[in-house]
Amino acid sequence: MASAIAPRVRLGIWIVAILVFVTAVLFVTRAAIRPTLSDPVERVEYSQYTSTPDYDNATYTVTNGARIARFQALVKKYSVDIADFNNALNDGCTGGLATNITLYRAGNSMQKLNLYSCRGPNASGTFVADATRLFSEWHTKDQPK
């Protein structure tokens, strides 16, 4: 009887070991291909667009650590998954303010986000509103005088 149980126990151990291994491989693979906020952001490029005539829709580059930290603080505050940004967070209207953002991380990986706010550059209370406000502040400061 003991000899009949031993193969079952060994089989159970092998199954558990295989499941643990597969789970570990999936976890490591997902972490490797999905950048997280913990990956250092070295540079941010952004542009804003609205249908207002003569609006400056140039692309600006930010390398200032304090500015990048302000954006990352918003990401953390609203628990936004930058690697899998949910476009449903954007406002659904026409005639709003679009902000296109590209984050460049250490190791040359990048992540793009497209924000769309209907509430203008001074709104707050959501990730999209607060981020639009932040980038609008930068936009005003970064425009050539």
Q: What pTM was computed for the model? A: 0.70
Q: How far apart are CA 87 and CA 80, in angstroms?
A: 11
pLDDT, one tens digit per residue, over 41-51 is: 899 999 999 87
Q: Which helix (H) or strand (E) holds 110?
A: strand 110-117
Contact 41, 62 (CB under 8 A): no
* Domains of the chain, residue spans: 1-33, 41-142
**74 Cβ contact list (under 8 Å, min separation 6):** 80, 127, 130, 131, 134
Q: How far apart are CA 110 and CA 2, in angstroms?
A: 58
**Ordered mean pLDDT values, 10 residues apiece, the chain (145 residues):** 68 81 70 55 93 85 95 93 86 87 89 90 90 92 78
